[in-house]
Chain A
C-alpha cells in the first residue's frame, strides 16, 4: 500500500510517498522561510501564493524520485486543516485533482493527526501514548488512544509555544524563525540572571499559557538602558528555561493522568517544530523518566511540518477503510478531540 501525501497548511510546501512498511519512498519539501523573513512571521497570502506555484512540481519530482507511476499509488492524502486556509485549499484541491483524475481514493487528513501519528511511522509505536505537540501554531497534550481517537488533556489558553519563541526572538532582535535563533542565543546566555514568570506552574491540569512570559521579556528588556549582546543572550536563556519549566510541569501532570487511565502506556512523544529544541528535549526526557515513561521524539524532519506524516496518517485511515468525498471541506479550525471544550487559540495557526 502506497500513499501520496501533501502538506500546505503553513509555510512549507511538501509532498511525500510512504508505504505500509513505514518506508518513505520519496520526499520533496520547499520552505518559504526566505519569503516570510522580512515580515518576521508567516504572511498567509504570501504562503498561499508560494504553495500554488510549487506544489505540482514537487508532486512530479516525488513520483520521479520514487520511480513510480500514479497507477502504483493507492490513495492521495492531503492536509485539510487546521491551518492557514488559503494554503490548505491549494494542497487539498491539488489532491482532489489528482485523486479524481486517477480514480484513487482521497483522504482528507487533520494536520494535528499527522503529528500525532508520526511516531508510528518513525518508531512503529503501539497505542496508547501521551503526546506533547509543540509548534508555531499549537501547544497541546493529547492521549493518542487509536487512529482517530484522541483525548486532549491540555492546551494553550493564549500563544502557542513556537509563537512565544518567534515573538521573543523579535523582541530581542535575534532574527527569524525564532525557535533556532533563541536556542542559539540561549546557548551562551546565563539563565539565572533574569527572573521570568512561569505561567500556570503548580496549577492542576495540563493547560499552558505563554503570553505573560513574552510580556515579562519585553519588560525586562525595557529595564535595560542599552541592552548588550550578552543581555540578549541572558534573556533568551531565561526565556528558554521558563518555557522548559512550564512544559515540564504541565507534562508531569499529564503523565499522571495518562498513567492512571492507561496503566499499560509507556511512551511520551514530543512532536512539532519546537521539538527540535535540545534543551526542551532534555527536560522532557527527565520528566518522562520520573513519571515512568520513555520519551520518543521522531527525527527533526518528521517533527517540523512535512508530508510524510500526512501520507502516513492517510495510510492509517485507508487501512481502516476510511476515505473522503471530493466535497471534503478545507478547515481553518479542526480540533482533534471533539469532546474537549473549545479553547480560543487551540488548533489555530496564525
Chain B
C-alpha cells in the first residue's frame, strides 16, 4: 500500500510518502506564510526521493482541519485535484487526530490524549482520545474554560498549540504537556489514514472548519 500524505492546515506544511508502515520520503517546511507556493514542490521532491511515479500510488491522505481556513484548503484542494486525476481513494484526517497520534505511544499507554489547537479569540479547537486513539468526544470549538471543564477525568497528555493555555487552566496535577513541538506531521496523517478502511475512489473529504465564516447580514450589528 503506497500512500502520499499532505498537510498545510496550521503553521507550515509537510509531506510523507509511505509504503505500508515504511517511510519512503518526508518533507517539512515550518514557515506559516507561502504554503500555497511551497507545498507542491515539496510533494514533487518527496515523490522523487521515494523513487515513485504518481501512478504507482494506491491512495492519498490529507488533513481536513480544523486549522486556518485557507491553510486547510491548500493541501485539500491539491489532494482533491490529484485524486480526480489519478482516480485514487483520498482519506481525510482531522488535525486533532493527527496531533494526538503524534504523542509517543509509550507515553500515551496509561493516559488519555487531548489535542488542542489555538483558535484565537480565547477559543480552542479540541478533542479527546483514548490510548487507542478512539475519540472520546466530537471535535469542537470551545472557549478555553469550557474546553478545560470538558476534559476527561484521569491523567491527560496535551498536544497542540492550544495545550499550554489549557494546562494553565488545569494545573499540572491533572494534565501535562506531551513532548514535541505541537505541530502536525504528514507521517501521522498517513498512519491515521492507514489505520482504517480507505474511502472509495470518487468520493472526497470535506473541510472540517468548526467555525462559521465571518460575515454579517445587512442590517445586523
Chain A interface residues (CB < 8 Å from chain B) = 38-40, 43, 45-46, 48-49, 52-53, 55-57, 59-60, 70, 85-86, 89-98, 100-103, 170, 325-330
Contacts and interface: CB of A to CB of B under 8 A. Distances in A.
Contacts of B44: 100, 326
Contacts of A52: 73, 76-77, 80, 207
B41 interface: yes
B32 to A, nearest CB: 14
Contact of A92 (B36, B38, B43, B218): B36
A12 B2 CA distance: 36
Interface of B: 36-41, 43-44, 54, 69-70, 73-86, 202, 204, 206-207, 209, 213-218
Given A101-B82, A327-B37, A329-B37, A86 B69 contact: yes
Nearest to B206: A53
A93 B215 contact: no
A326 B86 CA distance: 18
Nearest to A87: B73
18 contacts: A45-B69, A45-B215, A55-B81, A56-B204, A60-B84, A90-B77, A93-B39, A93-B74, A94-B78, A95-B81, A96-B40, A96-B81, A97-B81, A100-B54, A101-B86, A170-B218, A326-B44, A328-B37
- Max chain B C-beta neighbours (<10 A), residue from A327, A328, A329, A330: A327
Nearest to B211: A45
B83 A56 contact: yes
A329 B35 CA distance: 10
B81 A89 contact: no
B214 A98 contact: no
Contacts, number: 112
Interchain residue pairs A-B with the least CB separation, the first 4? A97-B81, A45-B213, A94-B81, A97-B78
A98 B37 contact: no
B77 A55 contact: yes
A326 B69 contact: no
Contacts of B80: 52, 55-56, 94, 97
Nearest to B6: A97
A329 B215 contact: no
A59 B36 contact: no
B36 A330 contact: yes
A92 B69 CA distance: 16
B85 A46 contact: no
A327 B81 contact: no
Contacts of B75: 93
B218 A39 contact: yes
